Structure 1
Amino acid sequence: MTLKIEQQADALHFSGVLNRDTLMLYSPFAQLNTLSGKVKFDFNCLDNIDTAGLAWLLQQLAQAKRLGITIALCNVPKQLLSLADVTAVRALLPIID
């Protein structure tokens, strides 16, 4: 299980697994501090996410707001949507597709 987050222009591309075992590689998420303006989180290659991954994502959205960064989520996997629905946080996710 691995997680890879790569920056390409104004997008961060997530691949692999975002869960309690892999998110520690990106905690604290220093890469967020290097961004500005509008940024896309592209989950096209994300294979799996658990509730810890969702909590991490919500934390990053809150930090981005404090930094004045606008995040848009694209290619959101159904698993993430299901977790967001079950935990009643879907309205907090800035999904663009």
Structure 2
Amino acid sequence: MTLNIEQQGEVFCFTGVLNRDTLMLYSPFKLLNSVSERINFDFSGLENIDTAGLAWLLQQLAWAKQHGIEISLCNVPKQLLSLADVTAVRPLLPISN
């Protein structure tokens, strides 16, 4: 299980697994420090996410909001949407597609 997050212009491309075992590689998530106004999180390469991954994502969204950065989520997997529905946080996710 691995997680890779690469910046390609105004997009962070997520590949692999975002869970309690892999998210520590990106805690704190320093890539957001290089963003000035907006960024897209592309989850098309995300294979799996658990509740710890969802909590990490919500933490990044909150940090970005405090720093005036707009994040949009694209290619959101059904698993993430299901977790967000079960935990009642889906309205907090800025899904663009």
Q: What stretches of structure 1 of length at least 5 have no aligned partner? A: none
Look up the match of 1:71: 71
TM-score (norm 1): 0.99
List structure 1 runs of 4+ shifted beyond 4 angstroms. Answer: none
Look up the match of 1:33: 33
Q: What stretches of structure 2 of length at least 5 have no aligned partner? A: none
> How big is the alpha-carbon RMSD for the aligned residues of Structure 1 and Structure 2?
0.4
TM-score (norm 2): 0.99
Paired residues in the alignment total 97
Rounded Cα–Cα distance in structure 2 between residues aligned with 1:5 and 1:67: 20
Rounded Cα–Cα distance in structure 1 between residues aligned with 2:71 and 2:28: 17
Rounded Cα–Cα distance in structure 2 between residues aligned with 1:33 and 1:55: 19
Look up the match of 2:17: 17
Alpha-carbon shift at residue 76 of structure 1 (Å)? 0.1
After superposition, where does 1:34-49 map in structure 2 within 5 Å? Answer: 34-49=34-49
Look up the match of 2:2: 2
Secondary structure of 1:65's aligned partner: helix
Aligned residues with identical type, % of pairs = 73
Rounded Cα–Cα distance in structure 2 between residues aligned with 1:5 and 1:84: 21
The CA deviation string for residues 9-30 of structure 1, in whole angstroms up to 9 with x for no partner, is: 0000000000000000000001
- One-letter amino acid of the counterpart of residue 10, structure 1: E
